[in-house]
Amino acid sequence: MTMEKIRIAIQKSGRLSEKSLALFTECGINLTAGSGKLMADSADFPIEVLFLRDDDIPQYVADGVADVGIVGENVVKEKHKTIDIAERLGFGRCRLALAVPKIVNYTDVTYFEGKKIATSYPDILDEYLKKKGVNAEIHEISGSVEIAPGIGLADGIFDIVSSGSTLFSNNLKEVELVMNSEALLVANQKLTEAKRKIMNDLIFRIRAVQKARRNKYIILNAPVKNLDEIVRVIPGMKSPSVVPLMDKGWVSIRSVIAEKDFWEIIERIQELGAQGILVIPIEKMII
Ligand code: PRT
Ligand code: ZN
């Protein structure tokens, strides 16, 4: 009897490759071959990894050649294949936006009426323009979209923006945000029961890793007189553990705090007399 596995498609080389592989490692899934090969498998988890161009991933997953895949939301939306979004992965964040030359006196989206827009995402753009009631000519190109206005190929562009530095260095400015994107775990809609179970195991691990990333373990010494107030600031998962110190006026507190509230919490508890604050990264978190 062969053990059931799931086959997952990830980007072969590009902006999502490294983070996709890092996610497997953090989930305790070590792969046997490098990303240079077409496929890899793992001794730790019933998984087989297929390395592809990101544009091909939705189709492979829709066809069932791969059971699941990791791909940008922008690509999923552009390809509109019939696949499920199984989990949002929180990396590869970017946005799809319209941009025009800096010198343009832009007021609103009607600027694009009768204009030429260069993009690698014609379907998403077309849908957006229809919704806005704007008629523009969509010029599909597969790369270096940002140079199109400079060489007279288009009046504006519709492209992925992350820091905005590519737009800046090409004398363009972002004028309309069309969609936000992040990496998604996508799945074939007709997975067998056994494969669905493996996928859910994978999602369970991914969530534990993500939760851990969003939180920090904190240890600190606190004066007993302010204990109640300090505990209100760092409530912990259930409630913090409080350990007495030899010095009767002090206790040691251990708790978990959210990364995003980190500096605010540290400031508050310092005001309340906390000392010797240690902040420790968490590897996995299962509640
Ligand atoms: O070869 P393959 O087809 O697999 O890769 P690709 O070249 O099509 O894609 P790749 O590797 O560039 O990006 C893969 C995915 O990463 C995209 O589909 C997005 O979901 C996501 N992502 C996140 C980005 C960016 N951030 C990003 N900044 N994809 C592209 N960019 C490019 C953008 O096209 C522009 O040229 O970076 C430039 C803008 O960046 P800033 O920081 O200058 O604004
Ligand atoms: Zn691509």
Chain center to CA of 139: 29
Q: Can you tell me the distance from the alpha carbon of 113 to that of 106, in angstroms, rounded to the nearest whole number? A: 12
Q: Can you tell me the distance from the alpha carbon of 60 to that of 57, in angstroms, rounded to the nearest whole number? A: 5
Q: From atom 26 of ligand 1, which residue's Cα is the shortest distance away? A: 94
Say which residue the tokens 């600190």 belong to.
Answer: 220
With a 6 A CB cut-off, is 49 part of the ligand 1 pocket? no
Cα 176 to ligand 2 centre (Å): 23
Q: From atom 31 of ligand 1, which residue's Cα is the shortest distance away? A: 160
Q: Can you tell me the distance from the alpha carbon of 90 to that of 280, in angstroms, rounded to the nearest whole number? A: 22
Rg of the chain over Cα atoms, rounded to whole angstroms, equals: 25
Ligand sitting nearest the alpha carbon of 15: 1
Ligand sitting nearest the alpha carbon of 96: 1
With a 6 A CB cut-off, is 56 part of the ligand 1 pocket? no
Q: Which of 10, 11, 15 to mutate to test the pocket of ligand 1 (most atoms within 8 A of CB)?
A: 15
Percent of the chain with pLDDT over 90: 92
Side-chain-side CA neighbours of 278 within 13 Å: the count stands at 8
Cα 14 to ligand 1 centre (Å): 8
User: How do residues 206-220 score in pLDDT, each as one tens digit?
Assistant: 999 999 999 999 999
- Strands (DSSP E) contained in the chain are 6-11, 39-41, 47-52, 68-72, 84-88, 94-101, 116-119, 137-140, 156-161, 172-181, 183-187, 215-223, 241-244, 250-258, 275-281
Ligand sitting nearest the alpha carbon of 169: 1
User: How do residues 116-147 score in pLDDT, each as one tens digit?
Assistant: 999 999 999 999 999 999 999 999 999 999 99
Per-residue pLDDT of the chain (287 residues; tens, 9 = 90+): 567 999 999 999 999 999 999 999 999 999 997 555 799 999 999 999 999 999 999 999 999 999 999 999 999 999 999 999 999 999 999 999 999 999 999 999 999 999 999 999 999 999 999 999 999 999 999 999 999 999 999 999 999 999 999 999 999 999 999 999 999 999 999 999 999 999 999 999 999 999 999 999 999 999 999 999 999 988 777 788 999 999 999 999 999 999 899 899 999 999 999 999 999 999 999 88
Q: From atom 22 of ligand 1, which residue's Cα is the shortest distance away? A: 92
Does this model's pTM top 0.85? yes
Specify which residues 104 forms β-bridges with.
none
Cα 280 to ligand 1 centre (Å): 33
CA distances from 158 to 30, 153, 175 (A): 38, 13, 10
Percent of the chain with pLDDT over 70: 98
